[in-house]
Structure 1
Amino acid sequence: MEWLSGRIMLLSGARRALLAFLAGLLTVLALPPFGIFAVPFLSFPVLVWLQDGASGNPDHGRLRRGFPAFAIGWCFGFGYFLGGLWWLGNALLIEADEFAWALPLAVLGLPAFLALYYGFAALVARMLWSDGLGRLAALALAFGLAEWLRGILLTGFPWNAVGYAAMPVPMMMQSAVIFGLAGMNMLSVFVFSAPALLGTRKGMGLGLSLAALLVVGHIGYGYWRLQEPAPTAPQPEQTVRLVQPVIDQAMKLDDAARAEIFTEHLELTAAAPADGAKRPDIIVWPETSVPFLLTENPDALASIADVLQDGQILIAGAVRAENAGAGLPPRYYNSVYVIDDRGQIVGAADKLHLVPFGEYLPFEDLLASAGLKAIAAAMPGGFSAAATRSMLTLPGGQVFYPLICYEAIFPNEVGNAALPASALLNVTNDAWFGDTPGPYQHFQQAQLRAVETGLPLVRGANSGISAVVNGLGEVVSGASFNVRGVVDTILPGKIMTPYDPGQQKRNAAIVAVMFLLVAGFSRGSFIFRVN
């Protein structure tokens, strides 16, 4: 192992950059749909050894001395984000005549931009670098900082945060209750990097023992939590039906297919329960499932009323229009409606966190004048964002906390405000991304929001993955990807956990301070210098 680490440290030029890229690319195998937990134990030691050899020329200025470390981190990140996000290009091919020109920007440009965060992480880590255990703490701290910044800057995009690689299954998700995603990002990088100590020996005993202890604690805590009795369903029991119609995205964009799409949803809603089971009380349609403005189509509301039985409630993703004032075009919102058995809209919530370039154009005046428009915007000018997040209170008393589409990837979108809710509600349309890893990655991240809060998750997706997940992240019932049909199941109860968003943040901060102390003392000084 010392021979291998030495060879990697001495690599230079294109071979060094290529190995960093391949290490990042390999790490993607730890993410859905693969979930190979062992892979980062190979890729992160390579990153550490490459960083060991990334010292700059002492005759150069500070920035130039830090460039080799930054470059290694950027190449690693480019491989990771290219391998993890290439499927975004599929959305541009739905209307290829209009958006295919942007394919290189989505497939290569976005990963290249996101890789800047990992380049920054490598640079910060290098400022604290040492030749023993401390360098692992430095790398973990720096990655934690980079992932935090990635989640908040420029509206944030924490998709595939590195901590998800350590949480492929519910048993390995439970530690997020204690540390949150921010803490898991740091702890994961430290543990994944531990085998690098086999190549340099210094601090090996302590480092490997600590990493092993963290892995055992991580899995053991998860096993212990999953042995707890399943939460009892609130009384009276509520049966939820998830409608998964699997409507091709090209069809959803075809105006001539609107009636057919609507009828498809109605037919699945009216389907008899399997084997004489209890009829559903709450029916969930996916994001933008209603192909027209409901408030301007009373016949559609009447059709919904005809399908719903007494006491049934429909929650449907739809576009909502709002008058913006005299002489101004209406504003449109990506919303969910609550509709009762009389066809009346009795509740609504609008999406708060919109997708840049997908649902709206940043710098709209400038970019629109150049002929650009948002990719997924159903109306001219794109969508508007809600001013605040609204809860959905159903006639039966249940309270759903709505997360529309990719809002579910943001831990900070689910805070104290969600605690009074009966369940999290995530409606989405992942048909944009075809049969790629994207929908599986999206599901894992939504799943973790249930674990973090102890709230059940009701997730309706056009093409999948639709599922009801309990507060431990276990799938109670679901439909596989691209399988048309319905899912009927009892709404689980809450998990009584010590969930506290503030405590998770404090625990993550404690982990960060510990890593800073270890890295700083190992470096021998808190006057950080680039070697």
Structure 2
Amino acid sequence: MAGGLTVLALPPFSWLIVVPVAFSALFLVLRQVSTVPAFFIGWVFGMGQFGIGISWIAESFYVDAERFGALAIPAVAGLSAGLAIFPGMAAMLFATIMQRRAFGGIAANLLFATCWAVTEWLRGHILTGFPWNLAAYALVDYAALRQPAAWVGSYGLGFLTVFIGILPGVLTVAAPKRRAPVLVLFAVAVTGLWVGGALRSGQDVPPTDVALRIVQGNVPQVEKWAPGSRERTLEKYLGLSAQPGRFDVLLWPETAFPGFLDEDAAARARISAALPDGRILLTGAPDRVEGDGGTRYFNTVQAYDSSGEVLTGYAKHHLVPFGEYVPLKGWLPIERLTEGLGDFTPGSGPRTLAIPGAPLVAVAICYEIIFPGQVVDDLFRPDWIFNATNDAWFGTTIGPEQHLASARMRAVEEGLPVVRAANTGISAVIDAKGEIIARLETGQTGVIDASLPTALAPTPYARFGDWTLLALICAVWALAFTVGLAGRRFNSEKSKSEDS
């Protein structure tokens, strides 16, 4: 129950009160539990957390219900069971250390938060990673509270979220004479987080003079690759793009064109006719390359100008297992959920694109936006991030809202605006503080005309990445050790004076 409650702390609910309730419950149960039971308790907590939190994945199996519908529940259950291993590891590590060295009060709280942060980081990296619904995302709808991610990233902010969230639990079991320091620490931590974040959220982020037009075609996934649908889809996107208004950059979502656009001269000619001189289209489209080893397929974003020629492009490098490729294909008798002639090939990694008439742009296609520190080319910093996505797979579930939360946290971490073009929503313009400037909801058809927000200076997290998490944990432990040592000396000297 406690694990399932954590979902209510995340968008679209964002009930912050759930954080201390859920995590304090887990912490209090684990305080005097041995290693093996602790792993099981943490795993059960994780089953609630992920079983509800990623239940929307089942929706994608019903897009082609005849082939994949029967796999929906087993797939969600299996994935949840695998992801629940990480909370289980956090609980086991916490219990193991507590058995060997009895930490009390705030130190035990700090130990648990450290174990949780470490295993969240591992979840974001092991087996290609899946850092979905990190603890920090409970703060994404609170302007001031999400800002510390600019300094310590989402993993570091998750550490602080869990540490502060457990303090009420510590308070309930603390001895009466030790409750005052816990209350003071809670007040100081919350106030410090809020004030520090408020200072950053108060920065002015004016719009640039670059005009964007985001097109949300709202094409149902079941129709997207149906025979004869390509013409209807292209007509829809061209019609929406031609609405009155000025734009410098036109943005279409992931696989907006359901075919190989760079090979379709007629389609490119129609697109170029709809682009005023000097305007650029960034659109998602599949691509293929012939080579000695056969045909390789890529999920790309391609840039076109009014001549209809490809200017540049980006190939998705962080692919979705079973959606864009099948891991261990020779061993697993499982098909991909998506249409296509073969598995996609990953691109070379984050890349900054230079396009005429617009600032430098990084591209993150769909799933890639969920990975902290893995979206931007560190050697060639862009001025904004374009997130082309297709959340039509997930219908009107909570999945698109959770996906949007990840995009907002990437904006804060990198100090860069994020612009989302989604096939069925949620399309949005997000400034460098994670604030949503404009949005189109799931299931809506339309366009967003907005100015590109200004980028902020590179954040500490943008400069140092996840090293900031290590620095934060070490600094907090050093502070706790120093305060504890000073307290013991003070009590010792006080006892000596009383004896004399």
Instruction: Please confirm whether the aligned pair reaches a TM-score higher than 0.5, indicating the same fold.
Output: yes
The answer to whether 1:35 aligns with 2:14 is yes
Name 1:316's counterpart in structure 2.
283
Equivalent-residue separation in structure 1 for 2:147 and 2:439 (angstroms): 21
Q: Could you say what secondary structure the match of 1:411 adopts?
A: coil
Write the mapping of 1:348-359 to structure 2, written as runs, cut at 5 A.
348-359=313-324
The answer to whether 1:303 aligns with 2:270 is yes
The answer to whether 1:282 aligns with 2:229 is no
Equivalent-residue separation in structure 2 for 1:352 and 1:208 (angstroms): 46
Name 1:52's counterpart in structure 2.
31
Equivalent-residue separation in structure 1 for 2:204 and 2:158 (angstroms): 29
Query: Offset of 1:518 from its aligned partner?
Result: 8.0
Equivalent pair of 2:390/2:424 in contact (CA under 8 Å):
yes
Equivalent pair of 1:46/1:196 in contact (CA under 8 Å):
yes
Query: Offset of 1:300 from its aligned partner?
Result: 0.4
Name 2:489's counterpart in structure 1.
none
For 1:109, give the aligned amino acid.
G
Query: Offset of 1:255 from its aligned partner?
Result: 2.1
Residues 510 and 387 (structure 1 numbering): CA distance in 2 closer, same or farther, change over 3 Å?
closer
Unpaired segments of 5 or more residues in structure 2?
A: 486-500
Name 1:293's counterpart in structure 2.
260
Equivalent-residue separation in structure 2 for 1:157 and 1:482 (angstroms): 26
Q: Could you say what secondary structure the match of 2:294 adopts?
A: coil
Query: Offset of 1:389 from its aligned partner?
Result: 3.1
Equivalent pair of 1:177/1:504 in contact (CA under 8 Å):
no
Name 1:132's counterpart in structure 2.
105
Superposed CA deviations along residues 192-219 of structure 1, whole A, max 9, x for unmatched, are: 1111123211443323322322211222
Superposed CA deviations along residues 226-268 of structure 1, whole A, max 9, x for unmatched, are: 22222352xxx21000001111110113122111011111111
Equivalent pair of 2:149/2:461 in contact (CA under 8 Å):
no
Residues 281 and 522 (structure 1 numbering): CA distance in 2 closer, same or farther, change over 3 Å?
closer
CA RMSD, 1 decimal: 2.1
Name 1:509's counterpart in structure 2.
470
Q: 1:90 is matched with which residue: 59, 62, 73?
A: 59
Write the mapping of 1:491-502 to structure 2, written as runs, cut at 5 A.
491-502=452-463
The answer to whether 1:80 aligns with 2:42 is no
Equivalent-residue separation in structure 1 for 2:427 and 2:117 (angstroms): 31
Query: Offset of 1:502 from its aligned partner?
Result: 4.5
Equivalent pair of 2:350/2:375 in contact (CA under 8 Å):
no
Q: 2:164 is matched with which residue: 181, 191, 194?
A: 191
The answer to whether 1:258 aligns with 2:230 is yes
Equivalent-residue separation in structure 1 for 2:353 and 2:207 (angstroms): 22
Name 2:125's counterpart in structure 1.
152
Moved >4 Å (runs of 4+): 514-524
Q: 2:145 is matched with which residue: 172, 176, 190?
A: 172
Name 1:276's counterpart in structure 2.
none
Residues 473 and 91 (structure 1 numbering): CA distance in 2 closer, same or farther, change over 3 Å?
same
Q: 1:107 is matched with which residue: 76, 88, 103?
A: 76
Equivalent-residue separation in structure 2 for 1:134 and 1:229 (angstroms): 39
Equivalent pair of 2:248/2:357 in contact (CA under 8 Å):
no
Equivalent pair of 1:134/1:523 in contact (CA under 8 Å):
no
The answer to whether 1:374 aligns with 2:336 is yes
For 2:191, give the aligned amino acid.
V
Q: Could you say what secondary structure the match of 1:89 adopts?
A: helix
Query: Offset of 1:504 from its aligned partner?
Result: 5.0
Query: Offset of 1:162 from its aligned partner?
Result: 1.4
The answer to whether 1:209 aligns with 2:184 is yes
The answer to whether 1:337 aligns with 2:302 is yes
Q: TM-score, normalised by structure 2?
A: 0.91
Equivalent-residue separation in structure 1 for 2:480 and 2:52 (angstroms): 30
Equivalent pair of 1:419/1:453 in contact (CA under 8 Å):
no
Name 2:366's counterpart in structure 1.
405
Residues 500 and 70 (structure 1 numbering): CA distance in 2 closer, same or farther, change over 3 Å?
closer
Query: Offset of 1:224 from its aligned partner?
Result: 1.9
Q: Could you say what secondary structure the match of 2:218 adopts?
A: coil
Name 2:116's counterpart in structure 1.
143
Name 1:420's counterpart in structure 2.
381
Q: Could you say what secondary structure the match of 2:124 adopts?
A: helix
For 2:240, give the aligned amino acid.
L
Name 1:25's counterpart in structure 2.
4
Write the mapping of 1:436-515 to structure 2, written as runs, cut at 5 A.
436-514=397-475
Paired residues in the alignment total 479
Query: Offset of 1:497 from its aligned partner?
Result: 4.9
By relative contact order (CA 8 Å, sep 6+), the higher-ranking structure is 1
Please identify, of 498-507 and 106-115, the stretch whose mean Cα deviation from structure 2 is larger: 498-507
Equivalent-residue separation in structure 2 for 1:101 and 1:418 (angstroms): 46
Please identify, of 378-387 and 174-183, the stretch whose mean Cα deviation from structure 2 is larger: 378-387
Equivalent-residue separation in structure 2 for 1:200 and 1:185 (angstroms): 23
Equivalent pair of 2:261/2:267 in contact (CA under 8 Å):
yes
Fraction of identical pairs, as percent: 35
